[in-house]
Chain A
């Protein structure tokens, strides 16, 4: 067996986290990085310096040499700079038997070196020149960056998705729901036996002549005003949708009172007939309205409801416009006097 002897300073360079102990267990030397992490080990007994987490044993000298070649998990009892509420860093080590039953334990940082690096303000100089610790740090920092990037990205995607969903069911000009939203909502309400509801179909009268004589900008202004009035005439849970150029649909949930809807229809017509100002000129419109109620049907069919409300609407048109009618699903539409 060939023997080498090594200067202590060379050992410190090569193994800056090593510890040397005598046969009796007294620590005789520690490397500079060891000293930084847990100062004052020299002169103490091995068991007083280290807590052997795994494998577990008393920490006497004779015991520790038996584990030569195995990975040890240890803590340093006198570790410095431990923030309040935190425990000792877990380190790894291997034990190397030396001559005369002396030994060397070489330590390295554990699986998460970040804690010890931060605690003891270690830098590249505290490791051997070939230690990959710096590269490991690049990975840790890059990983943190990538994670936070992904977090931000998925947050933005969520926002973009809800904006897109909102846009898909909203009429851009008036901010009301669109036909797709009304169809979906009506589809949901006609499945199963939910509470009764009323459906109102509104078609503006004389809107085309506003558009033709005063231009589209005036028409847009009128539509915005109509949207405002319709919103005010319904309860907050009711849906108001613009389902065509000058066609609107109102859905009143939890409502079986056709008289109430007739009142509302009358009031809507009244308010829509108030001239709307457009750059000093007056835009005059009115509305024809058709109403149907879910309570009129034994089985609910969304298409049927819409088509009946439509028929009632056209009855109002035929009857001279500016009025509302209620559908009679089995027979003809009844005509109500102008509201």
Chain B
């Protein structure tokens, strides 16, 4: 797994809780370095330890914490390219949901070692979706839940997004999220331009 994933957790902690808390988490997770390098490959277990240490130090349950990280990734100003890519991929929130299936492929052509979760999207009723994630560690659904809530807001869509169950198939962790779109254009979408493209 590429350091970029751990680095986003590090960025969240430093930005929301300060460098001192990051230091505590780093020590609790017994990380032998000060910061993650975005393009280096780390063992998957490092991420598990890191999430556990973060929950411990910040005294928070892991799932709400990961939801907050997902929300932060889509709303934190310096990470604007993420929001921009998501907005560009789909012209509505429902488009975005279906484009989740392509996220892993898109990430792989850009950064082959990134190892993002694989998502499947199923339409279960005219306005209800089930998103299934497969990843090497638990937590993908919680992060995605936070991201989808932020993006629904961004699109001006009123939707209920909830995490479902978790199961395991060998080394793969399978999690689900249910999404009910109540009103597609509940309020004005946020402004969106391709500002970062040179």
Contacts and interface: CB of A to CB of B under 8 A. Distances in A.
Interface stretch (A13-21, A117-125, A270-278): A117-125
A114 B110 contact: no
Given A118-B193, A139-B109, A146 B85 contact: no
A172 B87 CA distance: 54
Given A123-B91, A124-B89, A140 B197 contact: yes
A114 B38 contact: no
Contacts of A123: 87-88, 91, 192
A124 B107 CA distance: 18
A336 interface: no
Interface in A107-155: 114-115, 117-118, 121-125, 134-135, 137-146, 149-150, 153
Contacts of B39: 146, 149-150, 153
Contacts of B38: 145, 149
Nearest to A119: B194
Nearest to A122: B194
A115 B38 CA distance: 28
Interface in B73-93: 81, 84-85, 87-91
Nearest to A138: B106
A144 B91 contact: no
Interface in B90-129: 90-91, 95, 99, 106-107, 109-111
B89 A141 contact: no
Which of A115, A125, A137, A146 is the most central at the interface, judged by chain B CB atoms within 10 Å of its CB? A137
Contacts of A149: 37-39
B190 to A, nearest CB: 13
A124 B81 contact: no
B170 interface: no
A135 B197 contact: no
Given A149-B38, A153-B37, A141 B85 contact: yes
B91 A137 contact: no
Contacts of A144: 81, 196, 198
Contacts of A145: 38, 81
Contacts of B165: none
A146 B112 CA distance: 12
Contacts of A134: 88-89, 99, 106
A314 B106 CA distance: 75
B104 to A, nearest CB: 11
B32 interface: no
A122 B193 CA distance: 8
B180 to A, nearest CB: 24
A275 B184 CA distance: 84
A147 to B, nearest CB: 11
Nearest to B80: A141
A150 B169 CA distance: 37
Interface string B154-198: 000000000000000000000000000000000000001111111
> Which residue among B84, B85, B88 has the maximum number of chain A CB atoms within 10 Å of its CB?
B88
A117 B197 contact: yes
B90 to A, nearest CB: 6
A118 B87 CA distance: 13
Given A114-B194, A124-B95, A134-B89, A141 B84 contact: yes
Given A123-B91, A124-B88, A137-B85, A114 B198 contact: yes
B147 to A, nearest CB: 16
Contacts of B99: 134
B90 A118 contact: no
A125 B109 contact: no
Contact of B109 (A114, A117, A135): A135
B75 to A, nearest CB: 17
B89 A139 contact: no
30 contacts: A114-B197, A115-B197, A118-B194, A118-B195, A118-B197, A121-B194, A122-B194, A123-B88, A123-B91, A124-B89, A124-B91, A134-B89, A134-B99, A134-B106, A135-B109, A137-B88, A137-B194, A138-B85, A138-B106, A141-B84, A141-B85, A141-B110, A143-B110, A144-B196, A146-B39, A149-B38, A149-B39, A150-B39, A153-B37, A153-B39
7 interchain residue pairs of minimum CB distance = A142-B110, A114-B197, A125-B91, A138-B106, A118-B194, A141-B81, A149-B38
Interface of B: 37-39, 81, 84-85, 87-91, 95, 99, 106-107, 109-111, 192-198
